[in-house]
Amino acid sequence: MAELWFAAAIWLVTHLGISSTPLRGVLVNTIGQGAYLGLYSLVAAGSLGYLIWVYPSVPSFDYLWLPNPDLYWAAKITMPVAFILLVGGFMVRNPTNVGMSISDTPEAIEQAREMAKGVTRITRHPLQWAIVIWGVGHVIANGDWVSVIFFSTLALLGLIGGYLIDRKKAIALGAGWDAYAAVTSNLPFAAIVSGRNPLVAKELALPVLVGALVYGLVFYFHEAITGAIII
């Protein structure tokens, strides 16, 4: 169990302790933006790979709540939503993506508003919320300490990540970001409920179709991929 806690801490520290602190600026100024992004990608992939490698190797005999087939539906219901957000996030331009910038010209500000389409009408952080939903669903469905630590760590980073990205982009992109943020929301559906952005069903048709297809494939091959049987 100690190694899992260590792997989870490494995963969190390498993200929150580098990309969201003054250390990021120091590294960028020292080695350059491109080299920093490459190095950060390697560190992120390595820490995630280590966490994933440790997870199945830790015996999961201690439970916070016992396995219950009724709770398995938490993952079955939430995972299609997570996949829709995940694949939909790659189908639209999104200024929260790494490397994308917005200038402060009137034309660019208007373009920023027009970027809020598809799943970004729901949330401007579809990837982060996909991870949150995936993590929470699997925490509920499993209940053992090992799974709770593993999936909670990923969900926590997804939840915090959206707020940290907002803070960094607001500083880096200025008025262009303000325009985009005005018609979107971090919290899913908040911009739609408040009337700042409409929900356009036809824009979600392809994300729903592809997301459902990916979910079906993952569901079918879940045991082969993870070793866990879905009941």
Residue 201 has pLDDT above 80, yes or no: yes
What is the pLDDT confidence band of residue 230, given thresholds at 50, 70 and 90?
A: low
**Contact between 124 and 94 (Cβ < 8 Å):** yes
Q: Report pLDDT digits (tens) over 135-154.
A: 999 999 998 999 999 999 99
- CA distances to 23, 87, 212, 218 from 39, rounded to whole Å, are 13, 25, 34, 30
> Would you state the pLDDT for residue 99?
53
**Contact between 197 and 211 (Cβ < 8 Å):** no
Name the residue with higher pLDDT: 231 or 74. Answer: 74
* Helix, strand counts (H, E) of the chain: 11, 0
